[in-house]
Amino acid sequence: MSRIAARFAALKSQGRGALITFLEAYDPDQATSAALLRGMPGAGADLIEIGVPFTDPMADGPIIQAAAKRGLAAGAKLAGVLAMVRDFREADEATPIVLMGYLNPILSYGPERFCADAARAGVDGLIIVDLPTEEADLLLPFSTANGLDFIRLIAPTTDNARLPHVLNGSSGFVYYVSITGVTGTVTASVEHLQAAIPRIRKVTDLPIAIGFGVRTPQQAGSAARIADAAVVASALIDTLSAHLDAEGKALAGAVEAVLDQVRGLAAAVRR
Amino acid sequence: MNKPIGLNSLRSGPSDRGRFGDFGGRFVAETLMPLILEVERAYNEAKADPAFEAELAQYLTHYIGRPSPLWFAERLTKHLGGAKVYFKRDELNHTGSHKANNCMGQILLARRMGKTRIIAETGAGQHGVATATMCALFGLPCTVYMGATDVERQAPNVFRMKLLGAEVKPVTSGAGTLKDAMNEAMRDWVANVSDTYYLIGTVAGPHPYPMMVRDFQSVIGEEAKVQMQQAEGRLPDVAVACIGGGSNAMGLFHPFLDDTSVRLIGVEAGGHGIETGQHAASLTGGRPGVLHGNRTYLLQDDDGQIIEAHSISAGLDYPGIGPEHSWLHDIGRVEYVSATDQEALAAFQLCTRTEGIIPALEPAHALAYVTKLAPALPADQIILMNLCGRGDKDIFAVAQHLGVKL
């Protein structure tokens, strides 16, 4: 059983949903993001998404755009991101790690070599924002061959006729983009989520995570109950960026401030 | 519109997946996927509807001013001392560039689809002005994304768009040029999926845009073919066009793709020179990758991060190129060369003085190559160049480069 499936199965037996926390690799530098990654499981993150910086993050709002820019300025490269995961795995064999990013750096690295190296480093799943089902054959054979979960995005614009098509070949969990918009902007209403999630459940047995616009403990708790997991990203980066000096360097206490926020979110998911 | 296209034709692309060879495709977030499938369906229906074709033809004739003339540049030809040079005068279109052809086609499609708001990206502002113009004509609200750097260097076009009632949103991310404007337009589209139509200005982006924009721009080459027969009784020997995203070049080249006697040459922006790394020549200096919804040649570093392009011409300042060009490059049907900022500036001045036509800096790149090519060819050869935009918008930038204070 994959780490992702094992984690969701364990949480199900505890009768609660998962908290998925996000960090952008190398934001604002390698050491700070590695410290965040190390600290997140202890603070209550059940799964962790690592954003892979890209120059043109078309699906992201200003908060994650800025994080990607800081990450690139700090020298983030795909190989460096994989090294971060490898280091993390030496101390944590259980927490699933999902890489979220855009296709071009992977194409440049070589899709087959990337999937092999990612699996070896201890990555469990991939979310490639600009790789829709229609183009998935560029990566899917290699992610499957290396045991990586290929996590698909479902949007409010994905109609019922399209759902089975999009979910075909997906594994790990399903990521519901709960708003029509970019990351970190608006929040979906509870009513919208209560209508949307059963629609997806009809066509898949995979766990469903709700992301985009989940910011507060209350929103995370509610999303994790309506679906199977809540993804919190921009709100954590907001906290990190509030703890940077004028040059963008992390101030003392930056990591702890973000981890405190993770603790608050984790408590709400466990309530 | 077109003659039936045979299986062995180079004009039969793209495939059902929107591919030209390995290039093109639909690399967008799931949120947008249903929308671009809807655009594709609507476009295919419109294309098959004679009423749509008739409506477009009516506007092209009476509003845009087509056909654009074919002009024998006699004094320039004498000056260069070689092949005869003809200009396809798309700078005489309403709004001053070839961009109007595509905007008119797409806005009629948006109306057919019942969309009530239009967004666009722009580099030099030519596409933004053309989009704002059509929106004024049809009374549709219009938002144009433009890089902050371009807003500064293309101030006259910014003012034009505002006069036309469009909202111009400066984009400060990245280098504040066309690439960043396109990112921001995509973000707007994702957030306003129900009522908004994204009117892309070049032959790039996810399928069906490269195909659709090419089809709307092919009127350039179709007219030129007929006009050249009337003027010279034969096809040109060479057709030349500048390339940023590549829409004026695709429009000129596509009707000639199966005419193997016609050499096709695309001129990319060489910026400060290819060797300096500061240029916008994706085919000459890039490699294949995925950006803005399509797989194509891109300027990128070893890690797949996109590199900022540089060109004196805001309209060519883009690190990618339309996917059909990438394919035509790889199969060798079209030759791709480059011209530097300085060469374009020289050609800009030469055209102005010898022909009394102030060209935009974009086609000045095509002309820069023509000034090298024509003297090397015999006098009975014919070069057809797409003069795709007029240069009024550029006189301030040119003055600055020439050290003149206006």
DSSP symbol at B274: G
pLDDT at B4: 55
Over the stretch B149-169, which tens digit does the pLDDT of each residue have?
889 878 889 999 999 999 999
Between CA B188 and CA B191 the distance in angstroms is: 5
To the query of whether residue A247 is one of the catalytic residues in this protein, the response is no
Residues of A in contact with B35 (CB under 8 A): 157
Task: Inform me whether the C-beta atom of residue A161 falls under 8 Å from chain B C-beta atoms.
Answer: no
Check CB contact under 8 Å for A180 and B187.
no
Q: What are the C-alpha distances in Å from B396 to residues B123, B164, B192, B295?
A: 16, 21, 36, 36
- Kindly state whether B186 is in contact with chain A, defined as any CB-CB distance less than 8 angstroms: yes
- pLDDT (tens digit per residue) in A114-147: 999 999 999 999 999 999 999 999 999 999 999 9
Residue B2 pLDDT class (50, 70, 90 cuts): very low
Distance from CA of B181 to the nearest CA of A (A): 11
Q: What is the pTM of this model?
A: 0.96
- Asked if A103 has any chain B CB less than 8 Å from its own CB, the reply is yes
Q: What is the pLDDT of residues B90-116, one digit of tens each?
A: 999 999 999 999 999 999 999 999 999
Contact A104 B30 (CB under 8 A): no
Helix orientation angle between A78-91 and A111-121, rounded to the nearest 10 degrees = 20
**Is the pLDDT score of B123 beyond 90?**
no
Residue-level length of chain B:
406
Residue B321 has pLDDT above 90, yes or no: yes
- Nearest Cα residue to B77 out of B392, B378, B390: B378
In the predicted model, residues of chain A with pLDDT beneath 50 are none
ipTM higher than threshold 0.90: yes
Instruction: Give the pair of three-digit tokens for residue B329.
Output: 């490059």
Tokens of A54: 């890209």
Catalytic residue list contains A60: yes
Which of the residues A27, A60, A124, A149 is marked catalytic?
A: A60
- Kindly write down the DSSP assignment for every residue of B371-406, as one continuous string: HHHGGGS-TT-EEEEE--BBSGGGHHHHHHHTT---
What rounded mean pLDDT belongs to chain B?
96
SS3 letters across B85-123: EEEECHHHCHHHECHHHHHHHHHHHHHHCCCCEEEEEEC
Q: Minimal CA–CA distance to B227: which of B19, B66, B11, B33?
A: B66
Quick one: A141 exposed, middle or buried, by C-beta within 10 A (0-12, 13-18, 19+)? middle
pLDDT band at B6 (very low <50, low <70, confident <90, very high): low
Q: Does A159 touch chain B (CB under 8 A)?
A: yes
Subunit contact A107:B31, Cβ cutoff 8 A? no
Place of tokens 């006069």: B163
B223-281 confidence digits (pLDDT tens)? 999 999 999 999 999 999 999 999 999 999 999 999 999 999 999 999 999 999 999 99
Residue B3 has pLDDT above 70, yes or no: no
Nearest CA to B293 out of B9, B16, B24 is that of: B24
**B27 vs A: CB within 8 A:** yes
A contacts of B290 (beta carbons < 8 Å): 102-104, 107, 130
